[in-house]
Amino acid sequence: MAFIQVENVTKRYGKNYILKDINLEVNKGECAVIIGANGCGKTTLLSILAGSNKASSGKIIIDGVNAISNSKSFDKMIGYIPQENPLLEGLSVRDNLKFWYVGTNRNMEEDLKSGAPAIFGVTKFLDKKVEQLSGGMKKRLSICAALAKNPPILILDEPGASLDIVCKQEIKEYIERYMAVGGTVILASHEDYEINLATKMYLLNDGVLKEVAVGSHNEIMRGLAR
Ligand SMILES: Nc1ncnc2c1ncn2[C@@H]1O[C@H](COP(=O)(O)OP(=O)(O)OP(=O)(O)O)[C@@H](O)[C@H]1O
């Protein structure tokens, strides 16, 4: 069995099926990239895989445990970086980090010296309030928040959207290093530089997920646009 095994996941709002019998397998050290047109259901799928949205039916088995019936698995195993930042806007960066480090076995002060907050440059604005940060700074902090518990799986929803090239590159390099030490990644993206991280690729179209060849995304998306 794969490290992450998704079986027949569906999602419907009323009679409207957004996701139909989704099957997906991802192993340690792999990066599964999900491509598809705007509105095809990528965010819905990732939020379900991260445990922040409920499937209508199906199984999500993570390291042998069905996370849908053991929701603590999602918390323990997954760092989720949604499109909209999950930060507490009125609090400082330091207090936001403290919030995310509570209950983890990580030492925040150590990470401020050499962990993700140091790597992503978040330590330069620890005393600023989140509401005073730029979009890029908030994204960096959101990533550090998701990484606070040192999760074995990262789920990222278009992480580089609207960021500058330096920040995009930093995120890409971090993901590469994370995969190299066995981290597992599921990523939705429209951007080549992120899609190129894929070790496997899936197309979501009309609620149906299909595995496609790595590197075939431009051709596929041109086909969908016709
Ligand atoms: N709470 C909801 N109630 C009803 N429909 C919803 C709800 N959330 C999402 N949808 C619908 O589900 C579909 C998929 O939306 P989703 O945000 O998952 O797409 P996406 O592929 O991530 O889009 P994009 O690439 O633009 O980010 C859309 O038609 C959307 O209107």
This model of the complex carries an ipTM of: 0.95
Name the packing angle between helices 93-101 and 135-147 (round to 10°).
20
Host H or E run for residue 13:
strand 4-13
The binding-site residues of ligand 1, defined as CB within 6 angstroms of any ligand atom, are: 13, 18, 36, 38-44
Which residues, 6+ apart, have CB-to-CB distance to 13 below 8 Å? none
Q: Measuring CA to CA, which residue among 87, 53, 82, 100 is closest to residue 159?
A: 82
Give the position, in ligand 1's atom list, of the atom nearest the Cα of 40: 21
Residue nearest to atom 1 of ligand 1 (CA): 13
In tens digits, the chain (226 residues) has pLDDT values of: 999 999 999 999 999 999 999 999 999 999 999 999 999 999 999 999 999 999 999 999 999 999 999 989 999 999 999 999 999 999 999 999 999 999 998 999 999 999 999 999 999 999 999 999 999 999 999 999 999 999 999 999 999 987 889 989 999 999 999 999 999 999 999 999 999 999 999 999 999 999 999 988 888 888 887 7
Question: Looking at ligand 1, which residue's alpha carbon is closest to its atom 3?
Answer: 13
pTM of the model: 0.95
What structural domains does the chain harbor? 4-225 (3.40.50.300)
